[in-house]
């Protein structure tokens, strides 16, 4: 087992200090408003559509449930920040999740629907359902009508179909009538379940959701990632045996890429800190593991291929696989640095926070057409090999809010508690 000495806190590179304005609270508030203005154009009759590079909805007629959920979530956060116009957009998302995106015959949510209202796939995924819970929790905190009923229904679906008490984690997916369960387990869906459970637990006051989030984190991070030298194991079989060769022939799969995804190391670090702050008696390993994941992400992800920015994925040995620069990887690194600095007071984390916001401002933020470039080449020019267009603003809006909010409770509940 690796000892702490092999994973020191990152030593910042010596160069000109980043701009002191980018990343400050006023700058973050302005960037949040700019991103939300872009996102408003995503509204379509059945939810929120996939936006292209210039902010127009793609004309394929498809509505993806995860996009509708994430947009509903960010508009709920906007409403809680005082944006009154966002209330109608939250309600629109809730209507879509209670209407065309919901399977009235078998229960649960489709992954999406086409222009004729037909399901986009024959599966019901834990990833999708985690985002339904997140959207419903945020809308509940925002006091929107019907939100609490949706939250209750989505948590009940998780309870009945996805949560495995024996495994202490979520199964990955089912067919539409809930008869066939996929023989795959994924860290990504379980990570977003942790996010959703923290939000749901804070809104409902039910401690079971934090307890389950802790069980997931213990298995995925404290056991598997720690044993893998903090290179997060993403893919497992039904017995939770690591599948290191999974999708080797599809290294840039948008949901299940081969190897380990650097952005998830930072995302998990932030969630571990949220768990640590949100529990009455948290285990000490949550903070330790968060710092270890962060250090590994810097060491093996940042500028490692001779070009500026984070590589997307690495293999089992930590060697880069997909070198594309993804916007969401950078936002999660920024968010993790902000929370770690708040929790520990270590100035290194503030340095990385400033460095990465400066990098975002220089190459990712699209001042001409709105939002951020979602993908760049290693040379930092726009690309679309994994994620064409600018599907949503979930990661970017959260990156503008996390530095301005406490580590716990979750974002929506934290904002609700600040309302007079």
Supply 5's token pair: 């000495």
User: C-alpha angle with apex 154: 406 to 235, nearest 5 degrees?
Assistant: 75
> Which is the catalytic residue, given 73, 192, 224, 395?
395
Closest listed residue to residue 156, CA positions, set 144, 148, 145, 146? 148
For residue 316, count other CB atoms closer than 10 A to its CB. Answer: 14
DSSP letters spanning 151-189: HHHHHHHIIIIIEETTTTEE--EEETTS--B-S-EEHHH
Q: Any bridge partners for residue 235, and if so which?
A: 186
Supply 26's token pair: 């006023």
CA distances from 389 to 44, 49, 371 (A): 17, 11, 10
Whether 260 contacts 233, CB under 8 Å: yes
For residue 249, count other CB atoms closer than 10 A to its CB. Answer: 8
Question: Among this protein's residues, is 73 annotated catalytic?
Answer: no
Whether 121 contacts 143, CB under 8 Å: no
Whether 341 contacts 349, CB under 8 Å: yes
Supply 177's token pair: 């009538």
Question: Among this protein's residues, is 395 annotated catalytic?
Answer: yes
> Which is the catalytic residue, given 161, 210, 264, 374?
264
What b/e sequence results for 327-362 when a residue is b if at least 16 CB atoms lie within 10 Å of its CB, and e otherwise?
Answer: bbbbbbbbbbbbbbbbbeeeebbbbbbbbbbbbbbe
Q: Any bridge partners for residue 112, and if so which?
A: 64
Active-site annotation, residues: 264, 395
């Amino acid at each position: 087992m690796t000892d702490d000495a092999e994973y020191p806190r990152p030593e910042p590179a010596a160069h000109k200090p980043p701009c002191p304005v980018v990343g400050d609270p006023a700058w973050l508030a302005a960037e949040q408003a700019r991103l939300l203005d872009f996102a408003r154009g995503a509204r379509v009759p059945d939810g929120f559509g996939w936006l292209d590079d210039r902010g127009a909805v793609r004309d394929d007629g498809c509505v993806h449930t995860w996009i509708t959920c994430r947009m509903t979530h960010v508009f709920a956060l906007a409403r809680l920040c005082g944006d009154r116009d966002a209330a109608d957009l939250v309600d629109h998302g809730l209507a879509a999740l209670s209407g065309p995106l919901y399977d009235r015959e078998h229960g649960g949510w489709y992954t999406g629907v086409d222009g004729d209202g037909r399901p986009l796939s024959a599966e019901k995924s834990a990833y999708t359902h985690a985002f339904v819970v997140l959207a419903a929790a945020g809308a509940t905190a925002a006091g929107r009508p019907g939100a609490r009923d949706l939250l209750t229904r989505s948590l009940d679906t998780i309870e009945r179909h996805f949560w495995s008490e024996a495994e202490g984690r979520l199964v990955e997916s089912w067919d539409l009538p809930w008869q066939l369960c996929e023989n795959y387990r994924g860290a990504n869906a379980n990570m977003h379940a942790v996010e959703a459970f923290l939000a749901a637990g804070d809104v409902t006051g039910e401690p079971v959701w934090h307890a389950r989030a802790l069980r997931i984190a213990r298995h995925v991070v404290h056991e598997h990632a720690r044993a893998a030298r903090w290179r997060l194991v993403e893919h497992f079989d039904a017995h939770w045996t690591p599948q290191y060769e999974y999708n080797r022939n599809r290294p840039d799969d948008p949901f299940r890429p081969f190897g380990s995804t650097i952005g998830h190391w930072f995302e998990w670090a932030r969630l571990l800190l949220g768990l640590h702050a949100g529990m009455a008696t948290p285990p000490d390993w949550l903070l330790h593991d968060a710092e270890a994941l962060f250090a590994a992400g810097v060491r093996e992800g940042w500028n490692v291929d001779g070009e500026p920015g984070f590589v997307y994925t690495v293999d089992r040995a930590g060697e880069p696989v997909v070198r594309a620069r993804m916007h969401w990887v950078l936002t999660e690194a920024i968010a993790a640095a902000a929370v770690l600095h708040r929790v520990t007071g270590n100035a290194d984390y503030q340095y990385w926070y400033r460095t990465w916001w400066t990098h975002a401002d220089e190459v990712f933020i699209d001042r001409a057409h709105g939002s951020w470039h979602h993908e760049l080449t290693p040379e930092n020019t726009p690309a679309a090999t994994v994620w064409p267009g600018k599907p949503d603003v979930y990661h970017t809006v959260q990156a503008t809010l996390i530095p301005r909010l406490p580590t716990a409770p979750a974002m929506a509940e934290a904002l609700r508690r600040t309302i007079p």
